Structure 1
Amino acid sequence: MDQFHITKAPTVYDAVIVGSGAGGGMAAYILTKAGAKVLMLEAGGYYDPADPKYITQLKWPYESPRRGASTPFRSGGDFDAAWGGWDIEGEPYSSKPGTEFHWFRSRMLGGRTNHWGRISLRFGPDDFRRKSLTGVGDDWPIGYEDLKPFYDKTDRLIGVFGTNLPDFPNEPDGYFLPPPKPRLHELMLQKAGKSIGVPVVPSRLSILTQPINKERGQCFYCHQCNRGCQAYADFSSSSVLVIPAVKTGNLTLQNHAMVREVLTDQRTGLATGVSYVDTTTLQEVTVRAKTVILGASTCESARLLLNSKSARFPNGLANSSGVIGKYLNDSTGAGRSAFIPALMDRKRYNEDGVGGMHVFTPWWLDNKKLDFPRGYHIEYGGGMGMPGYGFGGGVENLNGRIPGRDGKTKPGGGYGASLKDDMRRFYGAYIGMSGRGEPVPLESNYCEIDPNGVDKYGIPTLRFHYKWSDHEIRQAKHMQDTFEEIIHAMGGIPLGNKPGPEQNYGLAAPGRIIHEVGTVRMGNDPSKSALNKFQQAHDVKNLFVVDAAPFVSQGDKNVTWTILASSMRTSEYLIEQVKQKNI
C-alpha cells in the first residue's frame, strides 16, 4: 500500500457511522438530536435533491446529453437520482462458478434510499417467527411488539400514506396519511382482483400527501420520485435524516470516504475507530470514535467486518461464530406485462400521480395449502405517464389481435402514419405487475473475501455464492400463474411468452431486486449469530450494525421501513447504554 499516505484525524467522536442510507441516516438523526458528536463516512459524493446543481426533476430528455440514457454508474439513467449500479469501475466483485449474485451499490449521500419505489411496509408478527410457524428457516430474537413503537415513531417522523387493513393481520396497522385515489387501470385491477379473490388495496409509500412539518413540502404528483424530490415530499435519507442531522451542529459529514476496516484495541477488543481511503486524494485516514456503527449496506458491512482481521479476530471482527457473510438472501422477483384493449383510445388527461403505485396486493394466501413456504406481494404499474422511446413496445406480440377502428382485428405497428395512429391508440393501454417475495435464508448462500481480488483502493473485494432453491422457483411459478389470471380477468392480452421451468418461471437473478439482507445476523446464541437483539456485536460491545445485514429473514415486504425502525431502536438503546456507562 505504498501509494497511500496515512494520516490520523485528531478528534475522538462519540460515534462514527459508516454509510448514509436508511440505517446510517436514522442513527445519525437520533444520536445527533441527543447531543452526540458524530462522524458520518460516505463513500460517494454529496447530494441534496433541492440543490439546483443536482435537480433533474421536471426536466426534459433533451436536457440530458444522452437523452436520459443509462451508463454503468447511472444505471437508472441520467434522470434517476441513484449514482451507482451493479457494475462500478474499479470496484469489482465475483461469483463462484455455477452461482450468481448481482451487487448493486449506490455511491452518494443517502445511498440506495435515492433508488427505490418508496414502498414502506412493516414486517408483521408472523415475519419474525417463521421457524416456529412453519419449521422452515429461523426465528428472529425479537418479535413485532419489540419493533412496533419504533415503526410508529418512524411513521410519524417520516410520513407514509396508506390505510389500515383489518383483514390482513400480518400487515400491521400504522399511522397513515391519506392515500392517492386509484387511477383507471388500478380501478380495473381492483375489479378484476375481486372477481378472482386477489385483493388489491391502497399502497403504503413514504410520500407526503399532506404536509407534516415546515421543512418538507407536499407531493405535487409529478410522478418523478425516482429523480429526487426538490420539495422533500418523499423520503430519502439525505433530505429527511442526514441534512437535518448536519443542521444540529453535531454531525460531521465526510464524503468520498471508502472505509477499509474497523480498528480495534488488541488488549480490550473494543472498536477504536475506522480506517478509510479518501477517494479523491488516495490518502488513507484513521479516525477515532468511542462507538462504531456500520450502515454501509448488507454486503458492504459484511465485507468491512471480514476485512477487519487481527490477532485477536483472525476470522474477521465480531465473527467468532463464523456466520458473517452467511445467510445472504434477496427478495424473489418476477414480472409480466399486458395490453388491455379496454384502455385504448382514451381521452388524454394527467394521470401521473405519485412516483409509484397507488395500489398493491399484499400476500393473501395460506402457504400451508401451497407447495412453497413463503409468500409475496404484487406491485402494479401502468397509466398515461410521460412516454419514453418504445413506450408502445410489445405490439408485435399481439399477433393481429388489436381492434382496428373498423372493429376488425389487425397487426399492430408498421411505420409512418399507421404507426403514429397505433401509438396514439395504445397510449395508456399497458399494465405491468411484479411479484416480490420472501426466500428461505440458507447458510449456503453467502459472500466471502475474494482471495484474488482487490478494488482500485487496494481493499479486498467480495466473492459470492448464491443459488435459488426449489422453494423460490415454485413461488415464481405461482406468481406467473397469478399474473395471467389477473390479466385475463381484465380482458387483457399477456405480452410475450409465459416463462417456463427452463427460465425458472422468470425468477430474477439473485441481487437484481436489491433487497438483500442477512450477512451479519442477530440472535440470542453467540455461537450462531454475530449480533444480539439490539444489533450489537456479541464480541465487541461498542460495535453496532444498523442496515439490513442483521435481519434473520426477508419478509414478503420491502425492507426499508424495518431498517429505519430497527436502526432507531438500536440508536436509542445505545444512548441508554452510554448513560448507564455500559459502553
Structure 2
Amino acid sequence: MRDNRHEVIVVGSGAGGAMAAYTLTKSGHKVLMLEAGRDYDPKTETPMFKRNGDAPLMGAATSDKHFGFYDATVDGGWQVPDEPYSVAEGDDFYWWRARMLGGRTNHWGRFSLRFSEHDFKGKSRDGLGADWPFDYAELAPWYDKTEELVGVCGTNTGLDDMPPSAEGVLHPPPQPRVPELLIAAAAKKQGIPMVPMHRAVLTRPKDDRAACFWATPCGHGCSIGAAFQTTTSLLPMAKATGNLQIITQAMVKSVDTDDQGKVIGVTYIDKASGHTHNLKAKVIILAASACESARILLNSKSQHFPDGLANSSGQVGKNLMDSTGAHLGAIIPALKGRPRYNEDGHTSNHLFIPWWGHAAQAKGELDFPRGYHFEIGCGFREPGAGVSGSLQGYGKAVKQQVWDNYGAYVGFSLRGEMLPNPDSYMEIDESVRDKWGIPVSKFHFKWSEHELKQIEHGLKTAKALLETMGADVGELPSAEQAISKGGSIIHEVGTTRMGSSAESSVTNQWGQTWDCDNLFVMDGGVFASNPHKNCTLTIMTLAMRNASWLSAQLKGGVI
C-alpha cells in the first residue's frame, strides 16, 4: 500500500539527492530520502580542530583512511566492508563510496567550476563522444541560483573556459599566497593564465552558516557550515520545511514496477536489522552516485525490463568516465628558507590554472581533444609524517634541509576530460553479492590515446612552469606511468547519460528516464560528457533545474 505521506522517494543524500529534496520540499512536496550510510552530524562529529600530531602515524593515509586519519568520510573509502565490487581482469578501477548522510559532500574538494559552452557541445566541435541535449545558455541562470544558494567564492575572469556569474553572486576570493604569485608570474611568461579558484567556501556569512576563518582543513568537515556540505545546508533547510523524512542505513535493492511495467516504489534492506522493506511513491529519484544508481537499475529486472530498468537503449552502465589525473612537483629554490607565517587560507589552492587551449585546438595545433586544468599544491601546511625534497647527510644538516624545504614545494595536479570509450563501462557481476545478497558492480576501464596525449602535454607544461621558477625537474615519466588509475579522482559519471534520443541515452534533458516517466536520475550518471571541471556544482545545478521541472509536472497532474 502506498505511503501517502510521501509523493517522492529520493535515493541518496549527497549533492544531487539533497538538492532535489531541498527543491521539492520548498515547493511543498512530501519527500522521503533513503541513505545507505549512517546518520552523520558534522556540528558534533567533525574533527576539524584536530591536528596531525594528535593522530596515529601523524595523520598519514592508511588503507581505511586514504585521505588521512581525520578525513570526514566515515564508513567509506575505496573499499567498504560488506560491499565488494569486482574489476575485469587486466583493468584497474577504484570505486570510492561514502556511506554516511551527506555522502561525498562531507569530504569533496569543493572546487566549483561551471561547464562552458565548449563543454556542452564537444561532439559538435570535434565529432567525439556525445553532445548534451541543451546548451550553456539554458543552464546559466540555474548556475547562478545554485551558486547563490550554496555559496561560492571566486571572481569573473573573462576567460572562455570560465563563464561569468551574475553580479553579486560570487563571494570574494581569498588573497593569493606568495608561492601562488610566483607560479602566476611563471605562467604569464609561458602565456598561460592563472586566476582565483571558484570554491564552495563562504567568505562572508550566509543564512546560519559562518564565514571561513582560514584555520582548519576543509577535508575534515566543517561544523560552522563555511565549507559546503549538504549536512549543514540543504538537508537541514529541507527538513525545516516539515516535508522531508530521512531513513539512514537503507540499502536500496531495486526500483519496483507493477504488472504493466509502471514504476511504483523501491525495495530496501535495513542494514542494521537485515529486514526488507517495500515503499511506494508517485515518483522515484535515483541520486545514489553514478555507479550506484546504475547498479540499482541493472538489478531491477522484470518481465518488462529483462535487461534492467530503463535500459531499452542498452546504455545503463555504459559511457563510464572519470577525470584524468597526473601530478608533477618540485622544490623551488626561491621559496627555500623563507620566513614562517600563516598560509592556511581555505586550505586549498587560492589560484589555479584553467584550460587555455581552446583557440589552439580550433587551429589544429594540439594532438588531443578537450582540455585540462592544474590545481596547485604549495605553501606552508601543517606538517605530517613525510618531508618534501631529497635529503642528504644526517643530524643537524638534515634538519636544516627539512626546515629550508618546508613551504618550498610546488605541485601541479592535472585534472582533465576523459572521452567515453567502449572499453570503459560497468555491469552486474552475478557471481558476487554483498552482505545483503545484492549482486555487485563489475568494472571495465581503459584510458584511450586521447587521454594519454593530454597527460603528455600536461606533464611538459608543468615541467616548463617548474623550470621557469628555477626547479630541477629531471626526466618526465611516460603518460602511461603518470596517469591516474580509473576512478581514483572520484569523478565517475556518464553511466545513465541524458540525451535527445531514447535509442542512445537513458534519460531526457530533465533526468527523466525515457522508459519510465515517473523515474528520474539526478546524479553524475546523467552527464553526457565529463569536462575537466569538477562535477559537483553541475550535479547540484542539474538537480535544482530538473527537480523544479518535476515539481511543475506534479502540480500540473502530468505525472
Matches within 5 A, 1:315-334: 315-334=307-326
- Displacement of 1:460 in angstroms is 0.3
Contact 2:389 2:405 in 1 (8 A): no
Runs of 5+ consecutive residues of structure 2 not aligned to the other structure: none
Matches within 5 A, 1:340-489: 340-365=332-357, 366-367=360-361, 368-390=364-386, 392-395=387-390, 412-489=391-468
Counterpart AA for 2:503: S
Aligned pairs, number: 551
- Give the alignment partner of residue 15 of structure 2, picking from 22, 27, 32: 22
User: 1:543 aligned to 2:506?
Assistant: no
User: 1:554 aligned to 2:530?
Assistant: yes
Matches within 5 A, 1:219-298: 219-267=212-260, 269-298=261-290
Runs of 5+ consecutive residues of structure 1 not aligned to the other structure: 1-7, 396-411
Contact 2:172 2:203 in 1 (8 A): yes
Matches within 5 A, 1:178-197: 178-197=172-191
In structure 2, what is the equivalent of residue 88 of structure 1? 80
User: 1:172 aligned to 2:163?
Assistant: yes
- Displacement of 1:70 in angstroms is 4.0
Counterpart AA for 1:380: I
Judged with a 3 Å threshold, the aligned counterparts in structure 2 of structure 1 residues 65 and 99 are, in CA distance, closer, same or farther, namely: closer
Distance in 1 between the 2:104 and 2:396 partners?
Answer: 43
- Displacement of 1:505 in angstroms is 4.7
Distance in 2 between the 1:533 and 1:375 partners?
Answer: 24
Counterpart AA for 1:498: L
Contact 2:323 2:417 in 1 (8 A): yes
Distance in 2 between the 1:117 and 1:483 partners?
Answer: 21
Distance in 1 between the 2:100 and 2:475 partners?
Answer: 39
Counterpart AA for 1:370: L
Contact 2:57 2:385 in 1 (8 A): no
User: 1:119 aligned to 2:99?
Assistant: no
Counterpart AA for 2:427: E
> Cα deviation per residue 1:156-203 (whole Å; 9 max; x = unaligned)?
11111111121x223100131111111010000000000111111111
Contact 2:49 2:216 in 1 (8 A): no
TM-score for both structures, normalised by structure 2: 0.96
In structure 2, what is the equivalent of residue 205 of structure 1? 199
Contact 1:24 1:547 in 2 (8 A): yes
- Displacement of 1:9 in angstroms is 8.6
Distance in 1 between the 2:516 and 2:502 partners?
Answer: 12
User: 1:493 aligned to 2:472?
Assistant: yes
> Cα deviation per residue 1:317-350 (whole Å; 9 max; x = unaligned)?
1111111000010001111111011111111111
> Cα deviation per residue 1:98-118 (whole Å; 9 max; x = unaligned)?
222111111111111122211
Contact 1:477 1:505 in 2 (8 A): no
- Give the alignment partner of residue 490 of structure 2, picking from 509, 514, 518: 514
3-state SS in 1 of match to 2:526: coil
Contact 2:131 2:528 in 1 (8 A): yes
> Cα deviation per residue 1:491-524 (whole Å; 9 max; x = unaligned)?
1223x752125xx150101111111110001111
Contact 1:12 1:287 in 2 (8 A): no
> Cα deviation per residue 1:254-285 (whole Å; 9 max; x = unaligned)?
11111111011222x22211111111111111
Counterpart AA for 2:204: Q
> Cα deviation per residue 1:213-261 (whole Å; 9 max; x = unaligned)?
2x10000001411111111001112211112212222111111111111
Distance in 2 between the 1:9 and 1:542 partners?
Answer: 15
Counterpart AA for 1:68: G
Distance in 2 between the 1:319 and 1:55 partners?
Answer: 40
- Displacement of 1:63 in angstroms is 3.8
- Displacement of 1:66 in angstroms is 5.7
Distance in 2 between the 1:298 and 1:211 partners?
Answer: 32
Contact 1:327 1:443 in 2 (8 A): yes
Counterpart AA for 1:476: I
In structure 2, what is the equivalent of residue 3 of structure 1? none
TM-score for both structures, normalised by structure 1: 0.92
Contact 1:9 1:285 in 2 (8 A): no
Contact 2:254 2:296 in 1 (8 A): yes
Matches within 5 A, 1:147-158: 147-158=139-150
Counterpart AA for 2:319: Y
Judged with a 3 Å threshold, the aligned counterparts in structure 2 of structure 1 residues 322 and 62 are, in CA distance, closer, same or farther, namely: same
> Cα deviation per residue 1:2-32 (whole Å; 9 max; x = unaligned)?
xxxxxx8955511111111100010011111
Contact 1:11 1:287 in 2 (8 A): no
Q: Which moved more, 1:79-88 or 1:61-70?
A: 61-70
**Percent identical:** 47
CA RMSD of aligned residues (A): 1.5
Distance in 2 between the 1:426 and 1:65 partners?
Answer: 24
User: 1:135 aligned to 2:135?
Assistant: no
Contact 2:377 2:412 in 1 (8 A): yes
Contact 2:35 2:247 in 1 (8 A): yes
Distance in 2 between the 1:318 and 1:435 partners?
Answer: 35
User: 1:47 aligned to 2:26?
Assistant: no
3-state SS in 2 of match to 1:188: helix
Distance in 1 between the 2:61 and 2:13 partners?
Answer: 24
User: 1:524 aligned to 2:495?
Assistant: no
3-state SS in 2 of match to 1:132: helix
Distance in 2 between the 1:16 and 1:279 partners?
Answer: 18
User: 1:56 aligned to 2:34?
Assistant: no
Distance in 1 between the 2:61 and 2:356 partners?
Answer: 37
Contact 2:52 2:384 in 1 (8 A): no
